[in-house]
Protein backbone atom coordinates (compact mmCIF):
# COMPACT_ATOMS: atom_id res chain seq x y z
CA UNK A 1 0.00 0.00 0.00
CA UNK A 2 1.47 3.28 -1.05
CA UNK A 3 0.82 6.27 1.17
CA UNK A 4 0.48 9.01 -1.39
CA UNK A 5 -1.18 7.24 -4.32
CA UNK A 6 -4.84 6.25 -4.31
CA UNK A 7 -4.66 3.43 -6.85
CA UNK A 8 -8.30 2.52 -6.53
CA UNK A 9 -9.41 6.10 -7.12
CA UNK A 10 -7.06 6.43 -10.09
CA UNK A 11 -8.42 3.27 -11.71
CA UNK A 12 -12.00 4.43 -11.26
CA UNK A 13 -11.15 7.87 -12.64
CA UNK A 14 -9.56 6.36 -15.75
CA UNK A 15 -12.47 4.03 -16.40
CA UNK A 16 -14.88 6.92 -15.97
CA UNK A 17 -12.97 8.80 -18.67
CA UNK A 18 -12.11 5.94 -21.05
CA UNK A 19 -15.09 3.56 -20.96
CA UNK A 20 -17.51 5.95 -22.72
CA UNK A 21 -14.88 6.41 -25.45
CA UNK A 22 -14.46 2.63 -25.85
CA UNK A 23 -10.78 2.95 -25.07
CA UNK A 24 -9.18 0.11 -23.10
CA UNK A 25 -6.95 0.78 -20.12
CA UNK A 26 -3.74 -1.22 -19.83
CA UNK A 27 -2.53 -0.56 -16.28
CA UNK A 28 1.26 -0.66 -16.44
CA UNK A 29 2.35 -2.25 -13.16
CA UNK A 30 6.00 -2.86 -14.05
CA UNK A 31 8.45 -2.47 -11.12
CA UNK A 32 5.54 -2.19 -8.67
CA UNK A 33 4.84 -4.91 -6.10
CA UNK A 34 1.98 -7.40 -6.37
CA UNK A 35 0.16 -5.59 -3.56
CA UNK A 36 -0.32 -2.58 -5.79
CA UNK A 37 -1.61 -4.78 -8.62
CA UNK A 38 -4.05 -6.25 -6.09
CA UNK A 39 -5.38 -2.78 -5.25
CA UNK A 40 -6.04 -2.08 -8.92
CA UNK A 41 -7.57 -5.53 -9.38
CA UNK A 42 -9.95 -4.90 -6.48
CA UNK A 43 -11.00 -1.64 -8.15
CA UNK A 44 -12.04 -3.70 -11.19
CA UNK A 45 -8.97 -3.37 -13.40
CA UNK A 46 -8.25 -6.50 -15.45
CA UNK A 47 -5.68 -5.62 -18.14
CA UNK A 48 -2.13 -5.15 -16.84
CA UNK A 49 1.09 -4.37 -18.68
CA UNK A 50 4.52 -5.64 -17.67
CA UNK A 51 7.88 -5.12 -19.34
CA UNK A 52 10.08 -7.85 -17.84
CA UNK A 53 9.48 -11.55 -18.33
CA UNK A 54 10.51 -12.79 -14.87
CA UNK A 55 8.54 -10.10 -13.07
CA UNK A 56 5.50 -10.86 -15.21
CA UNK A 57 5.68 -14.59 -14.49
CA UNK A 58 5.87 -13.98 -10.73
CA UNK A 59 2.77 -11.81 -10.88
CA UNK A 60 0.89 -14.25 -13.13
CA UNK A 61 1.38 -16.89 -10.42
CA UNK A 62 0.02 -14.61 -7.71
CA UNK A 63 -3.27 -13.60 -9.36
CA UNK A 64 -6.53 -15.16 -10.56
CA UNK A 65 -6.91 -16.27 -14.16
CA UNK A 66 -9.26 -13.48 -15.12
CA UNK A 67 -6.38 -11.02 -15.31
CA UNK A 68 -5.27 -10.22 -18.83
CA UNK A 69 -1.50 -9.74 -18.96
CA UNK A 70 0.09 -7.76 -21.78
CA UNK A 71 3.83 -7.86 -22.33
CA UNK A 72 4.99 -4.38 -23.36
CA UNK A 73 8.79 -4.40 -22.96
CA UNK A 74 11.59 -5.31 -25.30
CA UNK A 75 11.52 -9.11 -25.50
CA UNK A 76 14.88 -10.83 -25.73
CA UNK A 77 14.81 -13.86 -27.97
CA UNK A 78 16.12 -16.11 -25.18
CA UNK A 79 13.00 -15.28 -23.10
CA UNK A 80 10.45 -16.17 -25.76
CA UNK A 81 10.05 -19.76 -24.60
CA UNK A 82 9.34 -18.64 -21.02
CA UNK A 83 6.81 -16.00 -22.02
CA UNK A 84 4.73 -17.69 -24.71
CA UNK A 85 1.73 -19.39 -23.15
CA UNK A 86 1.84 -17.23 -20.01
CA UNK A 87 0.61 -13.97 -21.46
CA UNK A 88 -2.55 -12.81 -23.23
CA UNK A 89 -0.83 -10.50 -25.66
CA UNK A 90 2.70 -9.54 -26.62
CA UNK A 91 2.39 -5.88 -27.62
CA UNK A 92 6.05 -5.26 -28.28
CA UNK A 93 6.96 -7.43 -31.26
CA UNK A 94 9.72 -5.31 -32.75
CA UNK A 95 11.36 -7.51 -35.40
CA UNK A 96 10.54 -10.21 -37.91
CA UNK A 97 12.98 -12.54 -36.21
CA UNK A 98 11.18 -12.14 -32.87
CA UNK A 99 7.79 -12.60 -34.53
CA UNK A 100 8.92 -15.84 -36.17
CA UNK A 101 10.35 -17.14 -32.89
CA UNK A 102 7.07 -16.42 -31.08
CA UNK A 103 5.25 -18.21 -33.88
CA UNK A 104 7.48 -21.29 -33.70
CA UNK A 105 7.18 -21.50 -29.92
CA UNK A 106 3.39 -21.04 -30.04
CA UNK A 107 3.08 -23.80 -32.64
CA UNK A 108 5.30 -26.05 -30.54
CA UNK A 109 3.01 -25.47 -27.54
CA UNK A 110 -0.13 -25.90 -29.64
CA UNK A 111 -1.51 -22.43 -28.89
CA UNK A 112 -2.12 -19.20 -30.77
CA UNK A 113 -0.40 -16.08 -29.42
CA UNK A 114 -1.96 -12.65 -29.95
CA UNK A 115 0.57 -9.98 -30.78
CA UNK A 116 0.88 -6.34 -31.79
CA UNK A 117 3.58 -5.07 -34.11
CA UNK A 118 5.61 -2.30 -32.52
CA UNK A 119 6.28 0.73 -34.66
CA UNK A 120 9.24 3.00 -34.17
CA UNK A 121 8.17 6.55 -35.01
CA UNK A 122 9.69 8.58 -32.15
CA UNK A 123 12.76 10.69 -32.67
CA UNK A 124 14.75 8.82 -29.99
CA UNK A 125 17.09 6.29 -31.54
CA UNK A 126 16.95 3.97 -28.56
CA UNK A 127 13.35 2.91 -29.09
CA UNK A 128 12.68 -0.47 -30.62
CA UNK A 129 10.33 -1.33 -33.45
CA UNK A 130 9.64 -1.59 -37.15
CA UNK A 131 9.79 1.53 -39.26
CA UNK A 132 6.46 2.20 -41.00
CA UNK A 133 8.02 1.36 -44.39
CA UNK A 134 9.46 -1.90 -43.11
CA UNK A 135 6.06 -2.93 -41.83
CA UNK A 136 4.26 -1.98 -45.05
CA UNK A 137 6.78 -4.07 -46.99
CA UNK A 138 6.16 -7.00 -44.66
CA UNK A 139 2.48 -6.94 -45.61
CA UNK A 140 3.08 -6.17 -49.29
CA UNK A 141 5.23 -9.30 -49.43
CA UNK A 142 2.47 -11.14 -47.55
CA UNK A 143 5.02 -12.65 -45.18
CA UNK A 144 2.33 -12.94 -42.49
CA UNK A 145 0.95 -15.89 -44.44
CA UNK A 146 3.86 -17.94 -43.09
CA UNK A 147 2.66 -17.54 -39.52
CA UNK A 148 1.15 -20.74 -38.16
CA UNK A 149 0.28 -19.91 -34.57
CA UNK A 150 0.33 -16.13 -34.18
CA UNK A 151 -2.51 -13.70 -34.60
CA UNK A 152 -1.56 -10.16 -35.62
CA UNK A 153 -4.02 -7.96 -33.70
CA UNK A 154 -2.74 -4.51 -34.64
CA UNK A 155 0.00 -2.02 -33.87
CA UNK A 156 1.67 -0.51 -30.82
CA UNK A 157 3.92 2.50 -30.50
CA UNK A 158 5.27 5.42 -28.54
CA UNK A 159 5.50 9.09 -29.37
CA UNK A 160 8.66 11.12 -29.01
CA UNK A 161 9.56 12.12 -25.49
CA UNK A 162 9.07 15.86 -25.94
CA UNK A 163 6.86 18.78 -24.91
CA UNK A 164 6.22 19.55 -28.57
CA UNK A 165 2.52 18.69 -28.90
CA UNK A 166 2.58 18.89 -32.70
CA UNK A 167 5.38 16.35 -32.83
CA UNK A 168 3.57 13.97 -30.46
CA UNK A 169 0.39 14.25 -32.51
CA UNK A 170 2.30 13.60 -35.72
CA UNK A 171 3.88 10.48 -34.19
CA UNK A 172 0.51 9.09 -33.09
CA UNK A 173 -1.03 9.93 -36.45
CA UNK A 174 1.77 8.05 -38.21
CA UNK A 175 1.10 4.96 -36.08
CA UNK A 176 -2.64 5.06 -36.82
CA UNK A 177 -2.05 5.81 -40.52
CA UNK A 178 0.34 2.87 -40.82
CA UNK A 179 -2.33 0.51 -39.51
CA UNK A 180 -4.82 1.95 -42.01
CA UNK A 181 -2.34 1.53 -44.89
CA UNK A 182 -1.67 -2.05 -43.88
CA UNK A 183 -5.39 -2.75 -44.18
CA UNK A 184 -5.43 -1.10 -47.60
CA UNK A 185 -2.57 -3.33 -48.74
CA UNK A 186 -4.11 -6.48 -47.23
CA UNK A 187 -7.89 -5.96 -46.93
CA UNK A 188 -8.25 -9.68 -46.24
CA UNK A 189 -6.50 -9.28 -42.86
CA UNK A 190 -8.89 -10.16 -40.05
CA UNK A 191 -9.19 -8.50 -36.63
CA UNK A 192 -6.23 -6.18 -37.10
CA UNK A 193 -8.05 -3.68 -34.92
CA UNK A 194 -5.85 -2.62 -32.05
CA UNK A 195 -3.91 0.63 -31.85
CA UNK A 196 -2.04 0.68 -28.53
CA UNK A 197 -0.52 4.11 -27.95
CA UNK A 198 -0.44 6.81 -25.28
CA UNK A 199 1.05 6.82 -21.80
CA UNK A 200 0.48 8.94 -18.67
CA UNK A 201 1.77 12.15 -20.23
CA UNK A 202 0.20 11.93 -23.68
CA UNK A 203 -2.74 9.52 -23.71
CA UNK A 204 -5.33 12.18 -24.52
CA UNK A 205 -3.44 13.10 -27.69
CA UNK A 206 -3.22 9.39 -28.55
CA UNK A 207 -6.98 8.93 -28.16
CA UNK A 208 -7.60 11.86 -30.50
CA UNK A 209 -5.55 10.03 -33.12
CA UNK A 210 -7.46 6.78 -32.69
CA UNK A 211 -5.89 4.78 -29.85
CA UNK A 212 -7.98 1.76 -28.83
CA UNK A 213 -5.69 0.95 -25.88
CA UNK A 214 -3.69 3.33 -23.69
CA UNK A 215 -0.88 2.12 -21.42
CA UNK A 216 -0.83 4.05 -18.15
CA UNK A 217 1.71 3.49 -15.39
CA UNK A 218 2.83 6.53 -13.42
CA UNK A 219 -0.57 8.22 -13.36
CA UNK A 220 -2.09 5.19 -11.63
CA UNK A 221 0.68 3.68 -9.50
CA UNK A 222 2.96 6.67 -8.91
CA UNK A 223 6.60 6.99 -9.84
CA UNK A 224 8.74 3.89 -10.28
Ligand X SMILES: *Cc1c(COP(=O)(O)O)cnc(C)c1O
Instruction: Return residues touching ligand X (CB under 6 A).
Output: 28, 30, 51, 72-73, 199-201, 215-219
Looking at the Cβ atoms of 25 and 152, the one nearer to ligand X is 25
CB-nearer residue toward ligand X: 25 or 147 = 25
In the complex with ligand X, the residue whose CB is nearer, 104 or 201, is: 201
Least distance in Å: CB of 190 to ligand X? 26
Q: How far is residue 45 from each of residues 13, 81, 108, 133, 217, measured CA to CA in Å?
A: 11, 27, 32, 36, 13
Instruction: Please report how many Cα atoms fall inside a 13 Å half-sphere around the Cα of residue 219, on the Cβ side.
Output: 19
Report CA-CA distances (Å) from 41 to 101, 103, 172, 181: 32, 30, 29, 37
Smallest separation, CB 42 to ligand X (Å) = 21
Residue 64 per-residue DSSP state: -
Whichever of 211 and 216 has its CB closer to ligand X, that residue is: 216
Q: Report the residue number, 152 or 206, with the smaller CB distance to ligand X.
A: 206
Q: How far is the CB of 187 from ligand X (least distance, A)?
A: 29
Find the shortest distance in angstroms from Cβ 216 to ligand X.
5
Rounded CA-CA distance 34/200 in Å is 21
When CB distances to ligand X are compared, the closest residue is 217
- Name the minimum Å distance from CB 222 to ligand X: 9
Kindly write down the DSSP assignment for every residue of 173-218, as one continuous string: HHHHHHHHHHHHH-TT--S--EEE---TTTHHHHHHTT-SEEEESH
Amino acid sequence: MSANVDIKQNILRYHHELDPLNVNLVAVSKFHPAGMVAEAYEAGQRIFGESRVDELLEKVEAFPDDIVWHFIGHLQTNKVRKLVGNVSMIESVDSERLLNLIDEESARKGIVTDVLLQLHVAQEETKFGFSPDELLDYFRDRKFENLKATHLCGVMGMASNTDDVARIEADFKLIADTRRKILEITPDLRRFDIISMGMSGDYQLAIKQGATHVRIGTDIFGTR
